[in-house]
A and B are shown apart, each in its own frame.
Chain A
Amino acid sequence: MTRIRIAITGVGVKTPAGCDVDTFWATLLAGRSCAAPIRRIDPAALPVRFACEVTDFDPSVYFDSKETRRTDRVAQLAFGAAADALADAGELGADPARCGVVAAAGVGGLITQEEQEYNLFSRGPARVSPMLVPMMMPNAAAALVGMKLGWTGPNFCIATACAGGTNAIGEAGRLIREGSSDIVLAGGSEACVTPIAIAAFARMGALSNRNDEPQLASRPFDIDRDGFVMGEGAGFVVLESWDRAVARGAHIYGELAGYGRNSDAYHVTAPSPGGAGAADCMRLALNDAGLTPGDIGHINAHGTSTDLNDAAEAEAVVKVFGERTLPLTSAKGSIGHLIAAAGAVEAVASLLAMRDGVIPPTVNHERADPDLGVDIVAGAPRPLAAAPVVSNSFGFGGHNASLVLTPPS
């Protein structure tokens, strides 16, 4: 049986680097940090007082006042990105029953949850909003996208922490390949620049402490990295079969050629020793694509800027591809860590890199960590002949996910 090829025909983002794809991409290529003192809440009492926030998202573009009131920011960002991706994909001509949604969520509607927990503890259970459950549930974003579009096909949420966005796109490809759907909107969203999330990640030692110089805080694979910078946002892509995309004359950004996912089964937060799980995951994705390590042009790394993640990912890359054989970039130097949205937004960046033949620089990567053995694109964009990209995401819980995206041809 001929293998069904998967085309990506629409992209949409809501990010700290911009709420449209062109602004987002220009910001990545410019190598600009989006970290700044937190605006949405007063961060004075928090140990970490900066983040990468989405500052120019206007819900009224996508929702009436009733919808806005009944949805958490995490679902609003998700639908905004999904709607943009859909508009970008053009006229689909699809049966709504054959259209699906796969949306990743890390913590769900945490902003709403925290507000209502405050009500519970300060004013009693009668003051908890009746809207809390539908606003905080992690599947709220997937449900909202499906409802707004009237899409009645498969619709579910993926919760694999920071690997979610990548898993969502990979699993969406499977839905098309197995014949469950003709069109799938897949991606992830996150909006947890909240007191409890900042406090909790800071208490783990996962966040950078550079309160005095936020713009220098996220520095993937740099020797002075000291943790990730909390981000928020959403990314979605439209997937369909290659034949369908060609038949309707769609613009094709690239092919979802390979997908790997596995588990470290090792530790809830630390990566497996030597990046073994991540290495296996990348090999799975390469095998799924029918490609060899030598076929890959660059890696869009998970690259969180934490000591352990970057070291493990670098070790995994060296295991699979050899030492300094291909360039890596991490968008997190610019936009911070978008948790469940990260993989989806980074997949969009990977597609744009193939389109334009250029790899964006890793912001703040100034001094390479000599222990890592990887070639990091830094300082300026690096030109690259159109070639397949591996986009990695690794989540707390030991969830690993890798995509192989190839140029349209």
Chain B
Amino acid sequence: MDRDQILELLTDAAVEVMDVAREVVTPEARFVEDLNGDSLSVLEILEILQEKLDVDLPTESFDGVATVGEAADVITKIAAERAESPAG
């Protein structure tokens, strides 16, 4: 799964969790400041992505992540590592 597809899933999740319009969920949008989120919203979004991608997304991997695009970068990297892992 590439970054664009992951961005799409993140956007779906952000719209659902934060109850915001789809067009405001840009890669530059910050979860808390721009998208009406709180400290739990990001965790809820990650939980949805975990289910959709069937991959573990450890909370600590997202330290310092503020925007949708940054989250997509981290998830893309984790998903790629998982795909390469023989145990995966």
Which A68-100 residues have a C-beta within 8 angstroms of B?
69-70
Please give the number of chain B residues whose Cβ is less than 8 angstroms from any Cβ of chain A in the complex: 14
**Interface residue SS majority, chain B:** helix
* Cβ-defined contact, B43 with A131, below 8 A: yes
User: Does B85 lie at the interface of the complex (its beta carbon under 8 Å from any beta carbon of A)?
Assistant: no
Given that A65-B19, A66-B19 are contacting pairs, would A127 and B56 also be in contact in the complex, using a CB cutoff of 8 Å? yes
Which B37-64 residues have a C-beta within 8 angstroms of A?
40, 43-44, 46-47, 50, 56-59
Closest residue on chain A to residue B58 by CB atoms: A126
Given that A64-B19, A129-B47 are contacting pairs, would A124 and B40 also be in contact in the complex, using a CB cutoff of 8 Å? no
Q: Of residues A70, A129, A130, which shows the largest number of chain B Cβ atoms within 10 Å of its Cβ? A: A130
Nearest Cβ distance between residue B50 and chain A, in whole angstroms? 7
| Chain A residues with CB below 8 A from B40, complex form | 70, 130-131, 134
Which A29-85 residues have a C-beta within 8 angstroms of B?
64-66, 69-70
User: Does B29 lie at the interface of the complex (its beta carbon under 8 Å from any beta carbon of A)?
Assistant: no
Which A191-245 residues have a C-beta within 8 angstroms of B?
none
Nearest Cβ distance between residue A132 and chain B, in whole angstroms? 10
* Cβ-defined contact, B57 with A126, below 8 A: yes
* Cβ-defined contact, B57 with A66, below 8 A: no
* Cβ-defined contact, B44 with A130, below 8 A: yes
* Cβ-defined contact, A130 with B19, below 8 A: no
Bound-state CA distance A81–B57 (Å) is: 38
User: What would 5 more interface pairs be, CB under 8 Å, given A66-B19, A130-B43?
Assistant: A64-B19, A124-B56, A126-B57, A127-B50, A130-B46
Q: List 21 A-B contacts (CB under 8 A).
A: A64-B19, A65-B16, A65-B19, A66-B17, A66-B19, A69-B44, A70-B44, A124-B56, A126-B56, A126-B57, A126-B58, A127-B50, A130-B40, A130-B43, A130-B44, A130-B46, A130-B47, A130-B59, A131-B40, A131-B43, A131-B44
**B interface residues (Cβ-Cβ under 8 A, vs A):** 16-19, 40, 43-44, 46-47, 50, 56-59
**A interface residues (Cβ-Cβ under 8 A, vs B):** 64-66, 69-70, 124, 126-127, 129-131, 134
